[in-house]
Structure 1
Amino acid sequence: MYVPFEQLPPQARIWIYQSDREFTETEAAEIQDKIEKFVTEWSAHGQQLHASGQLLHRRFVVLGTDVNVTAPSGCSIDSSVKFLRILEMDYQTRLFDRTHLAFQKNGAINIVHLTEMPAAVASGEITAETPYFDNLVAEAGGLKANWVKPAGKTWLQKYFS
């Protein structure tokens, strides 16, 4: 059952998938429609999940479900992965590659490959204060409070020591 994302409780479980490219405006509208259709039908053991999804910044697919109503199961997680793999094929993108790190700089989202982090830090391109999209956030309440935060306050802090 589709629930508007802002109506998910703070403890709702979320998953964030980052595209390796920004989608066009047309693609973003299509993808948002597909996300809403998927979560409307998303279920666990035959029970509808109270779920939502959104495309943020034309790059991040966020799926969420209220675990207090119906907890997701292995099969429901598998179906979401299948859905995301279809998006990857349809839009020629990668949503499961965790080696591309997203930073906010001058109002834009810049991607730095994990292997390039030491050089980006050494050159000053990325600092401990550079806003980083922490896609490890796992609850809806954390999306607003903890998704974008200074890189030095995330698992990337090791690069600034």
Structure 2
Amino acid sequence: MYVPFEQLPPQARIWIYQADREFTDAEATEIQDKIKNFVTEWSAHGHQLHASGQLLHNRFVVLGTDVDVTAPSGCSIDSSVKFLRTLEIDYNTKLFDRTQLAFQKNGAINMVHLTEMPAAVASGEITAETPYFDNLVAEAGLLKTDWMKPAGKTWLQKYF
């Protein structure tokens, strides 16, 4: 059952998937429609999940479900992965590459490969204060407060 994202409770479980490129506005509209269609039918053991999804910054697919109503199962997680794999094929993108790191600089989202972090830090391209999208955030309430934070206050602190 589709629930508007802002109506998910703070403790709702979320998953964030980052595309390796920014989607066009036309693609973003299509993807948002596909997300809504998917979560409308998303279920666990025959029970519909109270779920939502959104595309943020034309790059991040966020799926969420109210675990207090119906907890997701292994099969429901598998169905979400299948859905995301379909998006990858349909839009020629990668949504599961965790080696690409997203930072915000001058209002734009810049990608840095994990192996390039030492050089990016050494050159000053990335500093401890550079906003980083921490896609490990797992609750809807933390999306607003902990998703984007200074790189030095994340697991990336070892580079500074």
Structure 1 length-normalised TM = 0.99
Q: Is 2:133 the counterpart of 1:133?
A: yes
Matches within 5 A, 1:42-53: 42-53=42-53
Matches within 5 A, 1:50-61: 50-61=50-61
**Shift of residue 48, structure 1, vs aligned partner:** 0.2
Secondary structure of residue in 2 paired with 1:61: strand
Secondary structure of residue in 2 paired with 1:38: helix
Q: 1:26: which partner in 2?
A: 26
For structure 2, list consecutive stretches of 5 or more residues without a partner in the other structure.
none
* Separation in structure 2 between the aligned mates of residue 8 and residue 145 of structure 1, nearest angstrom: 15
Matches within 5 A, 1:41-120: 41-120=41-120
State the Cα deviation string for residues 51-107 of structure 1 (Å, max 9, x = none): 000000000000000000000000000000000000000000000000000000000
* Separation in structure 2 between the aligned mates of residue 46 and residue 158 of structure 1, nearest angstrom: 44
* Separation in structure 1 between the aligned mates of residue 117 and residue 15 of structure 2, nearest angstrom: 24
Structure 2 length-normalised TM = 1.00
Write out the 4+ residue segments of structure 1 that deviate beyond 4 Å after TM superposition: none
- Give aligned pairs, total: 160
* Separation in structure 1 between the aligned mates of residue 129 and residue 34 of structure 2, nearest angstrom: 35
Identical counterparts, % of pairs: 88
**Shift of residue 143, structure 1, vs aligned partner:** 0.2
